[in-house]
A and B are shown apart, each in its own frame.
Chain A
Amino acid sequence: EDKVVQSPLSLVVHEGDTVTLNCSYEVTNFRSLLWYKQEKKAPTFLFMLTSSGIEKKSGRLSSILDKKELSSILNITATQTGDSAIYLCAVETGTASKLTFGTGTRLQVTL
């Protein structure tokens, strides 16, 4: 059974802090690893990491895939209150593009 684990489960930081969110996986037929941000509705896409693209960056957010360690991290620098959300890691497997989600990390950024 495919498994995706995220840590920490929740995190409270002050505005301006840097945070690192972790994701590890045990799956068969790995295709890609995705990070999503979820606020009140459905998840919004952040990054997609594959064997050919193991590092992505967009503004204050960046992510790295470690295929050897079967893990990924999501970094957010200079956090803002608008970064408060649940961050979901998902691994895509097989030919059917099936996504297995981790438990999520609930991030709260305070003033």
Chain B
Amino acid sequence: GAVVSQHPSWVICKSGTSVKIECRSLDFQATTMFWYRQFPKQSLMLMATSNEGSKATYEQGVEKDKFLINHASLTLSTLTVTSAHPEDSSFYICSADRGNQPQHFGDGTRLSIL
């Protein structure tokens, strides 16, 4: 079946570091991917919609200069958390749009900023 691969699965780094997370669709092409953030004991919140070949669409309250999204190919979207701080620590999850099929999620990236 369709698989979405997300890497890395967890990251621990110092405050001020930039962190890149990759999301790949392994056996299908995804013109649209989505990035979510989930804080402990909370639900998933959509951060942005990543569109292949064009700029991402960010949800209200999400800083586009802080969370850089690049969707350069039909199988890869990346999220870069720039100058990360402890408040950016969270579980980041990507998903890929498959048209009329349900979105398939990656396994998520647990980000811890010290």
- Interface contact tally, CB-CB below 8 A: 46
Tell me the dominant secondary structure on chain A's binding face: strand
Q: Which residue of A lies closest to B51 (CB)?
A: A96
Chain B residues near A104: list those with CB within 8 A.
43
Partner of A99, one of B6, B103, B106, B107: B103
Which of A34, A43, A100: most chain B CB closer than 10 A?
A43
Contact flag A101-B97 (CB < 8 Å), given A42-B108, A45-B102, A96-B32: no
Task: Tell yes or no: B67 within 8 A of A by CB.
Answer: no
Task: Tell yes or no: B84 within 8 A of A by CB.
Answer: no
Q: Which residue of A lies closest to B110 (CB)?
A: A41
B-side interface residues, number (CB < 8 Å): 21
Task: Tell yes or no: B79 within 8 A of A by CB.
Answer: no
A-side interface residues, number (CB < 8 Å): 20
Q: Which residue of B lies closest to A41 (CB)?
A: B107
Contact flag A101-B49 (CB < 8 Å), given A41-B108, A42-B108: no
A70-111 interface with B by 8 A CB criterion: 88, 90, 96-104
Q: Which residue of B lies closest to A48 (CB)?
A: B102
Given A98-B49, A100-B46, 18 more contacts at CB 8 Å?
A34-B102, A36-B105, A41-B107, A42-B6, A42-B107, A42-B108, A44-B105, A45-B102, A88-B44, A96-B32, A97-B103, A98-B46, A99-B103, A101-B36, A101-B43, A101-B46, A103-B43, A104-B43
Binding site for B on A (CB under 8 A): 32, 34, 36, 41-45, 48, 88, 90, 96-104
